[in-house]
A and B are shown apart, each in its own frame.
Chain A
Amino acid sequence: MFEPVLLKNINTPDSHRIDVYLKNGGYQALPNALKMQTDTLIQLVKDSGLRGRGGAGFSTGLKWSFITKDPTIPKYLCCNADEGEPGTFKDRAIIEKDPHELIEGMIIACYAIGAQAAYIYIRGEFDFGARRLEQAIYEAEQKGYLGKNILNSNFNCDIYVHKGAGAYICGEETALIESIEGKRGQPRIKPPFPAQVGLFGKPTVINNVETLSCIPHIVNKGPKWFASIGPEKSPGPKIFGVSGHVKKPGLYELPMGTPLREVIFTHAGGIRDGKKFKAAIPGGVSAPMLTEKDLDTPMDFDSMAAKGTMLGSAGVIVMDDTTCIVKVAMRTMGFFRHESCGKCTPCREGTDWTYKVLHRIEHGEGKEGDVKLLENLCGNIFGRTFCPLGDGAVMALRGALKNFRDEFLYHVKNKKCMV
């Protein structure tokens, strides 16, 4: 059995309180980190092999190293707690149950990149979580872990909570920055990248909640320990959120690279109600779905990419053999259509059009050629959009079409579902 790291305290009573966190070894990494040279600290994170848990899997240490060392330039850290990718519910557990783990990680990250202020961008619906974070920040200030001259190190740092208001696109890092600045959450053109011109025009690092929560453990147990868990190129503990038609939906913290089959059948208890497995979306709805033949794929960034999908947020949505894939595709495209920020035409019009075609197929009004039409539409959106939302929508739909083309064709021809 793998000993949980990130979620080890979440079942302890009052785990969100600072005294409980301290009793369980919390805030021991911070004084040690503050004694290190920032370069050494960044190298440590690089050596651990930690890759961003927000979806893209970019090396965290490398991201931090892009920030200028010029002490006269203000810098910012943003914690991405938008958790908007459907099927994802992992960051919420850390925020509500172990907020100090995140906050300790954030203070260390701020020190490493030389930021004196950080914002946690939390989705507006997580009102309870936002209050937990504010309470935790207050407790940390009282103990001298935040504010001026932290632990007599001359390092100052403040953390603020910024609440979103129901826009998925604000999880995209440049839209997130716009939103913290108090504007509409529409993505910015890259370059310049946030590491050069980010929040309030200053160098900025954006990291996911789970990514930052790994940091105290890496400082405490060393990069070798972290790198030894799971695959060499994609190591560490990973939180998998399993939902849908399984017996035991929930969060499972396992080594990166645990096979999809094991996540679904060993940990989440397999398919409920005596039904059979049909498909699984491995990393939130933007990730193309996988079928039976892919069940032995290790769940890490590279192995998932090799299967034409992505680890994404590791929100695993499991579907049994009664599931209508056309309906799932329609619902997914409905989501992207709703969340398209409207800035570029291929995404705004493309998601709307594909949704309408899927809607008519699902409702028995599909026309001959509709499946081809969908494929063409995908081709006209993919790679032509301003930000990755449009590509995510297309990848999801292509995954469904590739694996279940017959089901779509049957729907069109027979005006009904085959399941």
Chain B
Amino acid sequence: MNYELKIMLSTKTIEDIKKAIANYPRKKSASMDALTIAQKECGHLTQDVLLEIASLLEMPPVQLNQVAAFYTMYNKKPVGKHHVQVCTNVSCSLLGSEHIVEFLSKKLGVKKGETTSDKKFTLSEVECLGSCGTAPMMQINDDYYENLTEVKIEEILKGLK
């Protein structure tokens, strides 16, 4: 296959990926770690990033693409700086998660699945996040926000720069 390998990842990211490779008897088993680590740096996984990871793991790029495509947490498209993900599964739904989505949608001025024009926020609906006892809840990037109310959401959004 002909493609040009560009260096997209920082030395630190490459080091971290190499550390992850040491956790497995086979290099390509670190593919998920590598995608997670790279996404932390890049925000979303472009074809160039995927090619670079595939070469680090010595695996065919198509195989890595399939892995990246299978899992929802790997962003194949750009997302905002703050990825607001509201759980709307049963427990959260019983306690008003639809209302939370509507409220956020109004506050941020976007529909679910969209990113604000200043690229600061993306609003998504997600499946159960394992926090049903503190429903309704959402995750923004890596952090959980639980027992949500409108007042609480206003405060959370104010705190995000």
A binding-site residues for B, Cβ under 8 Å: 83-89, 91-92, 123-128, 160, 162-168, 179-185, 200, 241-245, 249-251, 281, 285, 315, 317, 319, 323, 327-328, 331-332, 335, 338-339
Q: Tell yes or no: B50 within 8 A of A by CB.
A: no
Extra 20 A-B pairs, beta carbons < 8 Å, given A125-B73, A182-B32: A86-B91, A87-B89, A92-B131, A124-B36, A124-B73, A125-B129, A160-B24, A164-B32, A165-B35, A167-B70, A179-B32, A181-B29, A183-B31, A200-B25, A243-B91, A243-B132, A249-B134, A250-B133, A327-B93, A331-B88
C-alpha spacing A181/B67, complex, angstroms: 11
C-alpha spacing A89/B90, complex, angstroms: 13
Is the pair B94, A317 in contact by a Cβ cutoff of 8 Å? yes
Q: Tell yes or no: B127 within 8 A of A by CB.
A: yes
Closest-CB distance, A166 to chain B (whole angstroms): 4
Residues in chain A near residue B126, CB distance under 8 A: 166
A92, A165, A241: which contacts B36 (Cβ < 8 A)?
Answer: A165
Is the pair A165, B142 in contact by a Cβ cutoff of 8 Å? no
27 example contacts (A-B, Cβ-Cβ < 8 A) are as follows A86-B89, A86-B90, A86-B132, A87-B90, A87-B132, A128-B143, A163-B32, A163-B33, A164-B71, A165-B35, A165-B73, A167-B71, A180-B29, A183-B31, A184-B66, A184-B67, A200-B26, A241-B133, A244-B94, A249-B132, A249-B133, A317-B91, A323-B94, A331-B89, A331-B90, A332-B90, A339-B127
Closest-CB distance, A171 to chain B (whole angstroms): 11
C-alpha spacing A164/B71, complex, angstroms: 8
Q: Tell yes or no: B11 within 8 A of A by CB.
A: no
B25, B90, B95, B139: which contacts A328 (Cβ < 8 A)?
Answer: B90
Closest-CB distance, B31 to chain A (whole angstroms): 4
Return the chain A residue nearest B29 by Cβ: A182
B66, B93, B132: which contacts A331 (Cβ < 8 A)?
Answer: B93
C-alpha spacing A241/B90, complex, angstroms: 14
Known contacts being A182-B26, A182-B31, A339-B127, is A165 close to B71, with CB within 8 Å? yes
Q: Tell yes or no: B44 within 8 A of A by CB.
A: no
Q: How many residues of B contact A (CB 8 A)?
A: 41
Residues in chain A near residue B33, CB distance under 8 A: 162-163
Is the pair A125, B32 in contact by a Cβ cutoff of 8 Å? no
C-alpha spacing A181/B27, complex, angstroms: 9
Residues in chain A near residue B90, CB distance under 8 A: 86-87, 244, 281, 285, 317, 328, 331-332, 335
C-alpha spacing A43/B23, complex, angstroms: 31
C-alpha spacing A315/B36, complex, angstroms: 29
C-alpha spacing A211/B33, complex, angstroms: 26
Residues in chain B near residue A338, CB distance under 8 A: 127
Residues in chain B near residue A167, CB distance under 8 A: 70-72
Counting chain B CB atoms within 10 Å of each CB, which of A127, A164, A243, A327 scores highest? A243
Known contacts being A86-B91, A128-B142, is A243 close to B133, with CB within 8 Å? yes
Return the chain A residue nearest B57 by Cβ: A182
C-alpha spacing A211/B123, complex, angstroms: 36
Is the pair B132, A185 in contact by a Cβ cutoff of 8 Å? no
C-alpha spacing A128/B91, complex, angstroms: 22
A86, A181, A184, A315: which contacts B127 (Cβ < 8 A)?
Answer: A86
Residues in chain B near residue A242, CB distance under 8 A: 133
Is the pair B130, A126 in contact by a Cβ cutoff of 8 Å? yes
Closest-CB distance, B15 to chain A (whole angstroms): 16
Q: Tell yes or no: B128 within 8 A of A by CB.
A: yes
Counting chain B CB atoms within 10 Å of each CB, which of A128, A168, A245, A249 scores highest? A249
Residues in chain A near residue B36, CB distance under 8 A: 124, 163, 165
C-alpha spacing A84/B129, complex, angstroms: 7
Q: Tell yes or no: B135 within 8 A of A by CB.
A: yes
Considering only residues 27-44 of chain B, those with a C-beta below 8 Å from chain A are 28-33, 35-36
Closest-CB distance, B127 to chain A (whole angstroms): 6
Return the chain A residue nearest B94 by Cβ: A244
Residues in chain A near residue B29, CB distance under 8 A: 180-182, 200
